[in-house]
Copies of this chain bind each other. A is one copy, B any other.
Amino acid sequence: MRSPRTADPRVCSIDAALKVIGEKWALLALREIAALGQHRFDDIVFNTGAPRDILAARLKSLEAAGVLQRRLYQERPARYEYHLTEAGEQLFAVLHAIRDWGDRFVRDDPENVVAFRHSCGAKLSLDMRCAACGEAVAPGDVTSHRDVRRSDIVCTKG
């Protein structure tokens, strides 16, 4: 039997965040709304290629999670646009970290159709710094300090 070691998934913010934004189409829908000025259902469908039913479900759950809010832009018939909440706005860091990485490591097609520019005029590329000390953060500079958890420590007995 293998049973003694089934699974004990970590509780962490990455996991929590992914429950909100990690499902298929969620980040592409957010890309449209957050970075490309598309706020209507049909436009998001068109620009992402997501199936309408899935997109409807995603928008609904993103709204429920407090990332999006619907704004009435026309009564009779009632029509809504999808806009970001503060939590949604703050996803730009995630979106651009992903874009930046994709740009550097998966860019397979020579010219990228969508590009982004910082207000300073330069093509946007991110530099991540520690908010506390202001130094640039590199992969090796981060350590995980985990509060005790049986599975992390080599325990004297199972």
Listed in ascending order, the chain A residues whose CB lies under 8 Å from chain B are 5-22, 24, 27-28, 31, 34-37, 42, 45-49, 65-67, 84, 87, 89-109, 111-135, 137-139, 141-147, 149, 151
Contact = CB atoms under 8 A, between A and B. Distances in A.
18 contacts: A5-B42, A9-B48, A10-B47, A10-B114, A12-B99, A13-B98, A13-B103, A14-B27, A17-B98, A18-B102, A22-B24, A37-B144, A96-B142, A97-B98, A116-B142, A117-B145, A125-B132, A127-B128
A14 B7 CA distance: 32
Given A115-B146, A142-B35, A97 B106 contact: no
B46 A8 contact: yes
